[in-house]
Amino acid sequence: MDADAEREFREFVAARSAALTRSAYLLTGQREAAEDLLQTVLAKVARRWDRIGGQPDAYVRAALYREQVSRWRRHGREVFGVPETAAAGDHAAATDLKVSLAAALRRLTARQRAVVLLRYVEDLPESEVAAVLDVSIGTVRSTASRALARLRSECPSLWSEEVRQ
């Protein structure tokens, strides 16, 4: 990598690492696993930086999702972690909801989780989600619909009036 490419890569990492770390955390459910995932992906991206082109953010996000799916397949199980620090006060209802949601998310397919993350957490338009996952917009729509229907059936408390307020 030449000096200009290295400078561009360093600037990209400095500017986007917080957002990419959040995405990695949402994929892994654990802070350490998210950091490992992002570090692995950035190491791979650094080797290809001069060939990536004009949208490195989309390239890195796609690499994050693909690497995490590979890890799930390699390990044969999916893990969502428990937060490392306790919140002040009695938050039993919120904790129950988080546990229920994590369990419901574990029962989604990897593609469904990725679509939910990109579409509703990262707030990307359907066209960008389709580009990141290398699928059609129709696939994004149908996958999101199925994922939300499954979440509604497995975690109905998420759609209650009290939660939305």
Predicted confidence (pLDDT) at residue 1 exceeds the cutoff of 80: no
Mean pLDDT value across residues 31-42: 91
Instruction: Map out the domains of the chain with their CATH numbers.
Output: 1-79 (1.10.1740), 91-165 (1.10.10.10)
Q: How far apart are the first and last CA of the chain?
A: 51
CA 158 to CA 78: how far, in whole Å? 21
Query: Is there a contact between 96 and 164 (Cβ–Cβ < 8 Å)?
Result: no
Q: Which residue did the predictor score with more confidence, 95 or 34?
A: 34
Contacts of 51 (CB under 8 A, 6+ apart): none
pTM for the predicted model, two decimal places? 0.52
Predicted confidence (pLDDT) at residue 73 exceeds the cutoff of 90: no
Condensed to tens digits (0 to 9), the pLDDT of residues 111-144 reads 998 899 889 888 889 999 998 888 999 999 999 9
Give residue 160's pLDDT: 62
